[in-house]
Structure 1
């Protein structure tokens, strides 16, 4: 492996009301996914730390809520500028956090900056409600108010910590809320720099707090009485626990969960573009460790064999290795447990009749100490099989054939998930028909970018509830009050 840079990682601390705490209720040792070696200690927030962070956010809420909208907008724009200026630092932190390839880390910083700027632009244009007047004798004048909740508890995922921060925090702050974020103990570094830049942007201490921690900290945050809404990105098992905890007090929750997104390729599509895009999206984005990726490829039978062969060739050509190398396309997966889970699913898929096209074995040699699994393509995957139904969260692509449009739609909708959908066709009418038929929160056609700031992003079914992105993502952080004035 090549030599990494001399970049020095920031110490991981709890950030509570402007105070940096070096100790908590325990310590987690960060493991570098590219080398398998132990690195920085990560203090884990305990129940008392969570309580302190929530109270700090609660105490400053009235101040932040009363801050003029233009000032909130200006601070968020400054934050976006600072994030952009620290692009190189965030790239290094992303590589250290979870081993994302350098070539892929740069676009994530750009996207995060776009999300912050988008909600900065909304901060002084907030939807304040509507007029509901009733005229005549005994009538009243009425209107609605959109008001911030107060303290938002945000639990972010390990696979894209900066993006997860950018998809939650700016919208919450623009709406006038304060936030306590629990990043994963597996990937704590990006949140440290983000917290520094929030302060540098002029946002008051306590408006944004960071408490790295495990399940105990997450549970304490969700259940805290002063946390008025929870926004979570992660897996369904944890989401069920969060939902159950919030249900006790009817606390609202946004759940951005997983997906088994179908990518439909029809025979009339631009097949060269479809093949490259489909392969890169399956493997070149975080080594397949992202919820909205097109991990099921459905291909029309008249082009199936040739298209599968092309996908296999492209996948096998992607360089896998040191994420510091600018030429690397696929870095490691997050840890040893991920390697074992991924490889077990690949093995079971073959036992169930799937055909291995490329990949399928943990990489050895110079990469043996890290958590490297190659782009793995499996064809002839049965629609009811585990590989077609369960999220792998790794560099594995399942390919299934279909005969016509109706079958393609049925296959695409044939899982419990409903996050994203992808369509490749040269027929505009078909694109419209299939888009309307797919049971997903998002659909992109012919290579359009997904999960962008100006459009809502969220799923149905096992992919969660609520939205991030767009005006809908901003509205998640308001509650509605109805007001009426009588004649007395």
Structure 2
């Protein structure tokens, strides 16, 4: 199926038309009307996006349910080969996916290219699991002659709802694992980021997946609610915020439907006095205020610094943050683009003003940024760093999801652990130290779903990823990531 741009489209001619992909159909209209997609780098409407309503969601789920009957019994090697073909196609269309990411949410091309590589890795990894799933013997022949074993079986139709900050990666973290396990999927991408999902759906068809195995239809919150509550959706996998997750859990509770929830974070990056400060301050700062303009759930947005290196670290962090130059996401060598939309732009600027009012010391940034020219109306914010942040303040306790880093001083290892754990979130934790014993000790004490020692978030496909507390339930990555899409049945032979 062609992935070329439709130059007959209205509004911005560089944006492709999008569709609702149900089975083998590509619908140009949805019953929920259209969404006016805004280019965050300019502030201008660039495309009208058709939105699925409850009617299309129901059709997609019924289609996926019918496809499941044959897909679940297909040969594992067949599922593996189709997923490997899909991975090859994603890789071959890497430049276009990077361009779609810039269209979707302003992800710079240089960053989007790396996200494509990660997505290819996730797709190939779970392709490899398709023919390696096995069951267990639970007992040998006993005195009464019973023999027991288990079966790992797919659920059926999986309802997938993804957020806007990494549309391709979110698809690759969820869909291949669900398909390798033998499930079919109905996916609702965010209406804010429809262009990557459009290309992904085209490549699914080109790879040769049977119609109905993967259904992708952009929609708003009402479409998501219809998907979650549909009686033939057997499990939900969601990436987004805690407020929406609570609504999903409430809907799932009606039918005791399980859910995987990958939510937000307020991850602490503990910098001890023996750390490699060039690495700790460079990568940690870039992850917090540079990459994706700070719009990442696992980013180290709280930096906890030991008191005897505090001033040195502040100087290093300010220099790194000051070197980050936001720009047009299509421009070469730009690593930081706009935030996703006007609402996020205004909210983040409000957080910055509140932090000032709460007494945090502004180290660098803190202002809206106008690039002028075609980008004069874009949603750009200076990379912003606050020092002397009260660990109980709003800035330290609440996820910003923008280019804002909060730095707090600590004296002892015990104090650092206490501050790191003093939050409702529990997604990721970071430790910077040359003392391996201390690193392992602190990693064990941090109440998070993952800890990285002397590193930063990298979404390694073979490592389980997922949080605690309001950071979510369940795991993605590793065997745990495919096991989420399998349910175990015990069998006994008398």
Structure 1 distance, partners of 2:469, 2:457, is 23
Aligned equivalent of 1:480:
488
Structure 2 distance, partners of 1:41, 1:18, is 22
Match 1:63 to one of 54, 70, 91: 70
Q: Residue 348 in 1 paired to residue 354 in 2?
A: yes
1:284-433 to structure 2, matched below 5 A, reads 284-366=290-372, 367-433=375-441
1:71-470 to structure 2, matched below 5 A, reads 71-126=78-133, 128-366=134-372, 367-447=375-455, 449-470=457-478
Task: Please state how far the C-alpha of 1:39 moved relative to its aligned partner.
Answer: 1.0
- Residue 302 of structure 1 aligns to a residue in which SS? helix
- Residue 257 of structure 2 aligns to a residue in which SS? coil
Match 1:47 to one of 54, 60, 67: 54
Task: Please state how far the C-alpha of 1:450 moved relative to its aligned partner.
Answer: 2.9
- Residue 369 of structure 2 aligns to a residue in which SS? coil
* Cα distance change of structure 1 residues 414 and 121 upon mapping to structure 2, 3 Å threshold: same
Task: Please state how far the C-alpha of 1:448 moved relative to its aligned partner.
Answer: 5.3
Offset from partner CA, 1:384-427 (integer Å, 9 cap, x none)? 00000000000000000000100011111010000000110010
TM-score (norm 1): 0.97
Structure 2 distance, partners of 1:135, 1:102, is 60
- Residue 192 of structure 1 aligns to a residue in which SS? helix
- Residue 298 of structure 2 aligns to a residue in which SS? coil
Does the CA-based 8 Å contact 2:321-2:364 persist in structure 1?
yes
- Residue 132 of structure 1 aligns to a residue in which SS? strand
- Residue 205 of structure 1 aligns to a residue in which SS? coil
Q: Residue 30 in 1 paired to residue 37 in 2?
A: yes
Offset from partner CA, 1:192-233 (integer Å, 9 cap, x none)? 110111111111110000110001100000000000000000
Task: Please state how far the C-alpha of 1:447 moved relative to its aligned partner.
Answer: 1.6
Structure 1 distance, partners of 2:367, 2:458, is 30
Does the CA-based 8 Å contact 1:319-1:327 persist in structure 2?
no
Task: Please state how far the C-alpha of 1:449 moved relative to its aligned partner.
Answer: 4.8
- Residue 459 of structure 2 aligns to a residue in which SS? coil
Q: Which consecutive unaligned segments of at least 5 residues does structure 1 have?
A: 1-5
Does the CA-based 8 Å contact 1:289-1:333 persist in structure 2?
yes
Task: Give the root-mean-square deviation of aligned CA atoms.
Answer: 1.1
- Residue 72 of structure 2 aligns to a residue in which SS? helix
* Cα distance change of structure 1 residues 345 and 131 upon mapping to structure 2, 3 Å threshold: same
- Residue 426 of structure 1 aligns to a residue in which SS? coil
Structure 2 distance, partners of 1:293, 1:365, is 26
- Residue 431 of structure 2 aligns to a residue in which SS? strand
Structure 2 distance, partners of 1:364, 1:211, is 34
Aligned equivalent of 2:3:
none
- Residue 471 of structure 1 aligns to a residue in which SS? helix
Offset from partner CA, 1:238-284 (integer Å, 9 cap, x none)? 00000000011100000000000000000100111111111111123
Q: Which moved more, 1:78-87 or 1:60-69?
A: 60-69
Q: Which moved more, 1:464-473 or 1:58-67?
A: 58-67
- Residue 119 of structure 2 aligns to a residue in which SS? helix
Aligned length: 480
Task: Please state how far the C-alpha of 1:306 moved relative to its aligned partner.
Answer: 1.5
Q: Which moved more, 1:324-333 or 1:222-231?
A: 324-333
TM-score (norm 2): 0.96
Task: Please state how far the C-alpha of 1:451 moved relative to its aligned partner.
Answer: 1.7
- Residue 303 of structure 1 aligns to a residue in which SS? helix
Does the CA-based 8 Å contact 1:104-1:284 persist in structure 2?
no
Task: Please state how far the C-alpha of 1:139 moved relative to its aligned partner.
Answer: 3.1
Q: Which consecutive unaligned segments of at least 5 residues does structure 2 have?
A: 1-11
- Residue 153 of structure 1 aligns to a residue in which SS? strand
